[in-house]
Structure formats: C-alpha cells, structure tokens
Copies of this chain bind each other. A is one copy, B any other.
Amino acid sequence: MASDTRQRLIDGALETIRRDGIAGTSARTIAATAGVNQALIFYHFGSVGTLLAEACRRATEERIDHYRDQLAGVASFDELLDLGRRLHAEERELGNVAVLAQMLAGAQRDESLAPAVAGALRLWIAEIERVLTRLLADSPLAGVIDLPGLATAISAAFVGIELYDGVDAAASGNALEALRRLAVLIEIADELGPVATRLLRRRLAARDRRRSETAPYRKKSPR
C-alpha cells in the first residue's frame, strides 16, 4: 500500500538519523532501515531532503500533540521545569530531540531542509511561549522579560544540551539540573513582586545607559 510505504520511509528516516546522524543518513541507509526499496524514496518524496523535511514535520507535530495537555496543565515555573525534565528524559529515550538537532545541523546548508526544521522548532517555541505567557500573566515580570526570546532560548538550549549529551552524557545531565535550580530565581523574583521588578527595571535601564556610551565599562554613575 502506498501510504504504508510512505509511513515506513518516514519512520525509517527518523530511525536512521537517530542512529547514524545527519552525516550517515542517505537514501540507501534509510531504505535499508525501513525494509523498503531504495528507489521508492524518489517515487514517493522526490528526494532525500524532502523525505527528511516531511519526517521532521510529522515527528514534531506528533510529539507536541503528546505534550499539549501536560503543557496546558503547568501551573508554576517549578512544574514547568519538572515537565522539562520528564520531557527531556522521555524524548532522549525516543531520540526525538536528537533528530531535531541533527536536522538542524544538516539544515545549515540544505535549503530544502531549513524551512522544515525552522518550522518544527517554531512549533515547540510557540508552545513554550504560551506556557510562559500564562505563568507570568499576572506578574510584574511579564513586562520585563522577553517572552518570545526566552522561549527561543529555552528551546535552543534543549537542542544544545541534547547534542552535548551525545559526547558527554553525565555533564549534560548536570546542565539541565542547574537550569532547573536557576529557574527558581524567576519564581522568587515573581513573588517579591514590585520590589524585584523595580530593581530589575532600574538595573536594565542602567545597563542600557552604559551601553549607549562610548566609554568602556564604568561603575554606575547616577546622572
């Protein structure tokens, strides 16, 4: 059946990139993994890049669907980071973040892959941003923190940590735990409320003022 072969190829592509990395992924290795004739990749998808793009899209949508309810139920930064920990553990077992990372590496020069990977990451970023926005809805921090930027940073950090995990698993685990501890700072700042926000705003303004000067760094000069 046609759709069955398509699905086998998509699954095979994901498993291959997971196992061999982007540098070891080819029409032949994918077909062998999928147990399908190599020529069928070109019949169904036209090129290897198109197959990878499609696989990236499908895999991401599936995973996000899987976590949507849990993301919607997150009620604090602590819970968000705890979900991040579980998500990291689960996806690492499945190898989905690794797939995204490998595709991201491959997309740097493959223009057929770039938009698909960018789109996949944007899906994750949008989900995270939604949670952040909800968590900080009533917080004075909302106006100070750049939510889309922070969501992007979190996603990118996940990808980087996953890549680093491939060469030093112990160290990458520590990195994630350190971030979780750090996130508690946001909660505390949030609870301190107006006090922290005022400090934060003042601090950011002072820094921007320094930046606009030509002179090198100098201590806070109240003007």
Instruction: List A residues at the B interface (Cβ < 8 Å).
Output: 19-24, 75-76, 78-79, 82, 98, 101-102, 104-110, 114-115, 117-118, 121-122, 125, 144-150, 152-153, 155-161, 163-164, 166-168, 171-172, 174-179, 181-182, 184-189, 191-192, 196, 199-200, 203-204, 207, 210-211, 217
The copy count of this chain in the complex is 2
Q: Which residue of B lies closest to A107 (CB)?
A: B167
Whether A167 contacts B121 by the Cβ 8 Å rule is yes
The 3 closest A-B pairs by CB, nearest first: A160-B160, A149-B178, A105-B105
Given A109-B20, A185-B189, A199-B188, are A164 and B174 also a contact pair (CB < 8 Å)? no
User: Which residue of B22, B159, B177 is within 8 Å of A23 (Cβ)?
Assistant: B22
Which B residues are CB-close (under 8 A) to A191?
199
